[in-house]
Amino acid sequence: MRILNELQMDLPVRGFCSVVIYRKSLPPVITSSPGNYLHRSGGGAHVSGVRALSGGSSDAAGGWYSSLADSTPVHLCEQLLVSVQEASGLPWWFSICVATLSVRTLVTLPLAAYQLVVISKVEALQTEISELAKRLRYEVSVRARERSWTERESRFQFKKNLRRIVSQLYIRDNCHPFKASLLVWVQLPLWISLSLALRNLSLDQSDLQGALAAGGALWFPDLTIPDSTWILPVCLGLTNLLIVEVFSLQRVAASRTQRLVLNTVRGFSLLMIPIAATVPSSMALYWFASSLVGFSHNLLLRSPSIHRLLQLSTPHSTSPYRDLLTAFIAKYHK
């Protein structure tokens, strides 16, 4: 029995190649209260004393940026930061770190674990996909001789039907690669919203500006101004570079495209250093804390205990941290 369908030239997976596909089967209203920093004004929630940034700007770029900084997600992040600081009574610098740890642990860590499960399922399918591709190539070659297809037509039929087969396999195992990108679609907007929330709270127009100005520590006592020592920006850049290098160690034989992406991310990590040196220290501290927490979560998800808990379908090392250290030393201490 052949894979190619006689009429539609599609390759039905069910019944062919000895494969059976089993199909598996409004924003919250913020109310005002005497002790709350937030109040309703002009249809949006604002931190008390923070001037709306969207008015009076005729520049197009400034318009969209002001609208973003005055958006509901940003104001909700402002409320979150203020609530954490009020509930804990901690200094603002420590409160920012606690809020960062809480958000990344409660929101992004579960998504990162889900991403790991999806990627593991996709990797486990590669052997099956490879076998199907071999059988499909044979069926296409037979059909090409029968119908006198050109080489271009044969490639087209092979690629079209292979894509359909792979898509059905992804549906069967509920592991479409797009699901692995869910983490990015949540983490990036959250990172932007929290960054702009801290920027708003650090403005001169904010009632909390004075508290943030005295809420720093060590070499950054004032969280409303940039870190003049560049210690936070440099630590941020080094942490991001470390994350990139640890990720690169997972790719033994990286392709040209993968190397290009890695080099681009390395360049962006270095670019973040001067950027972080121009923003309030509260933002730079949040970026640094977020990168540290992300790096620790990356290491945690390498644990064999976590892999057993997630029931990953692909084999992994029983000593991932020792292997990582060995690979790191071998790469940079030749």
Nearest CA to 162 out of 131, 133, 130, 121 is that of 133
Read off the pTM: 0.72
pLDDT score recorded for residue 181: 85
pLDDT score recorded for residue 206: 67
Spell out a b/e string for 153-192, using b for 16 or more CB atoms within 10 Å of the CB, else e.
Answer: ebeebbeebbeebbebbbebbebbeebbeebeeebeebbb
The rounded distance, in Å, linking the Cα atoms of 33 and 39 is 8
Q: How many Cα atoms within 13 Å fall on the side-chain side of residue 319?
A: 5
Q: How many Cα atoms within 13 Å fall on the side-chain side of residue 80?
A: 21
pLDDT score recorded for residue 29: 37
Q: What is the pLDDT along the chain (334 residues), one digit of tens a residue?
A: 444 443 334 433 333 333 333 333 334 433 333 334 444 333 344 444 343 333 443 455 567 878 887 888 898 999 999 999 899 888 999 999 999 999 999 999 999 999 989 988 888 888 899 999 999 999 989 998 888 888 888 889 999 999 999 999 999 988 888 888 888 899 999 999 999 999 888 886 667 777 888 887 888 888 888 988 999 999 999 999 888 888 777 665 666 777 788 888 888 889 999 999 999 999 999 999 999 999 999 888 888 888 888 888 776 767 777 877 777 777 766 5
The rounded distance, in Å, linking the Cα atoms of 68 and 122 is 36
Structure token digits, residue 74: 């940003």
Structure token digits, residue 157: 């039929």
Nearest CA to 229 out of 277, 168, 287, 174 is that of 277
pLDDT score recorded for residue 297: 92
